[in-house]
Amino acid sequence: MSQKLVTEAYVGGVWRGGRGGTFAVYDPATGAEIAQVADCSSQDVEEAIEAASEAYLIWRHTSVKERAALLYKIRDSLLANKDNLATTITRESGKPLGQSAGEVGFSASFFEWFAEEARRQYGETIPSSVASKRMVTIRQPVGVAALITPWNFPIAMMARKLAAALAAGCTCVIKPAEDTPLIALAFTKLCEDVGVPAGVINVVPCSRERVLEVGAALCDSPQVQVLSFTGSTAVGQWLYSRCGLTVKKLSLELGGDAPFIVFPTANLDLAIPGAMASKFRNTGQTCVSANRFFVHESLHDEFVSRLAAAMDTELKVGRGLDTGVNQGPLINQRQHDRLVKMVKETVAEGAQVVRGGTSMSGLYYPPTLLTGVTPAMTLAKNEIFGPVAIIMKFKTEEEVVKLSNHTRRGLAGYFYSNDVSQVWRVAEAMEVGMVGVNETLMSTCEAPFGGVKYSGIGKEGSKYGLDEYSSLKYICFGV
One of 29, 287, 369, 466 touching ligand SIN (CB under 6 A): 287
Residue list 341-360, contact with ligand SIN (CB under 6 A): none
Task: For CA atoms 165, 166, 168, 169, give the dihedral sign.
Answer: positive
The whole-angstrom separation of Cα 311 and Cα 261 is 19
Cα of 203 vs its chain's centroid, Å:
18
Contact 11, 135 (CB under 8 A): no
Q: Catalytic residue among 253, 397, 431, 460, which?
A: 253
Task: For CA atoms 164, 167, 170, 172, give the dihedral sign.
Answer: positive
Among the listed ranges 128-136, 237-245, 282-290, 417-425, the one in contact with ligand SIN (CB under 6 A) is: 282-290
- Asked whether position 449 contacts ligand SIN by CB under 6 A, the answer is yes
Q: Catalytic residue among 40, 287, 383, 431, which?
A: 287
Q: How far is the CB of 449 from ligand SIN (least distance, A)?
A: 6
The whole-angstrom separation of Cα 294 and Cα 259 is 7
Q: How far is the CB of 311 from ligand SIN (least distance, A)?
A: 21
- Asked whether position 291 contacts ligand SIN by CB under 6 A, the answer is no
Other C-beta atoms closer than 10 Å to the C-beta of 464 total 16
- Asked whether position 288 contacts ligand SIN by CB under 6 A, the answer is yes
The whole-angstrom separation of Cα 98 and Cα 159 is 18
- Residue number, 154 or 169, with CB nearest to ligand SIN: 154
Cα of 425 vs its chain's centroid, Å:
28
Residue list 299-338, contact with ligand SIN (CB under 6 A): none
One of 42, 107, 230, 371 touching ligand SIN (CB under 6 A): 230
The whole-angstrom separation of Cα 180 and Cα 94 is 10
Among 173, 176, 170, residue whose Cα is nearest residue 157: 176
- Asked whether position 166 contacts ligand SIN by CB under 6 A, the answer is no
Is residue 209 part of the annotated active site? The answer reads no
Which residues pair with residue 36 across a beta bridge?
24
Is residue 287 part of the annotated active site? The answer reads yes
Residue 263 phi, psi (nearest 5): -85, 165
The whole-angstrom separation of Cα 255 and Cα 451 is 9
Q: How far is the CB of 44 from ligand SIN (least distance, A)?
A: 27
- Asked whether position 286 contacts ligand SIN by CB under 6 A, the answer is yes
- Residue number, 284 or 357, with CB nearest to ligand SIN: 284
Contact 183, 190 (CB under 8 A): no
One of 30, 140, 443, 471 touching ligand SIN (CB under 6 A): 443
- Asked whether position 107 contacts ligand SIN by CB under 6 A, the answer is no
The DSSP code for 22 is E
As to burial, measured by CB atoms within 10 angstroms (0-12 exposed, 13-18 middle, 19+ buried), residue 388 is buried
Residue 274: its H or E element:
helix 268-280
- Residue number, 281 or 393, with CB nearest to ligand SIN: 281
Q: How far is the CB of 5 from ligand SIN (least distance, A)?
A: 24
- Residue number, 153 or 469, with CB nearest to ligand SIN: 153
Residue list 137-156, contact with ligand SIN (CB under 6 A): 152-153
Beta strands at 22-26 and 33-38: parallel, antiparallel or unpaired: antiparallel
Q: How far is the CB of 327 from ligand SIN (least distance, A)?
A: 16
Q: How far is the CB of 256 from ligand SIN (least distance, A)?
A: 7
List the x/- string, 232-271, binding to ligand SIN by CB under 6 A. ----------------------------------------
The DSSP code for 208 is G
Among the listed ranges 264-272, 280-288, 367-375, 398-406, the one in contact with ligand SIN (CB under 6 A) is: 280-288
- Residue number, 153 or 187, with CB nearest to ligand SIN: 153
Q: How far is the CB of 288 from ligand SIN (least distance, A)?
A: 5
Q: How far is the CB of 289 from ligand SIN (least distance, A)?
A: 7
Contact 453, 409 (CB under 8 A): yes
Residue 100 phi, psi (nearest 5): -65, -40
Helix (H, G, I), strand (E, B) or coil at 25: strand
Residue numbers annotated as active site? 253, 287
Binding stretches for ligand SIN (CB under 6 A): 152-153, 230, 286-288, 443, 449
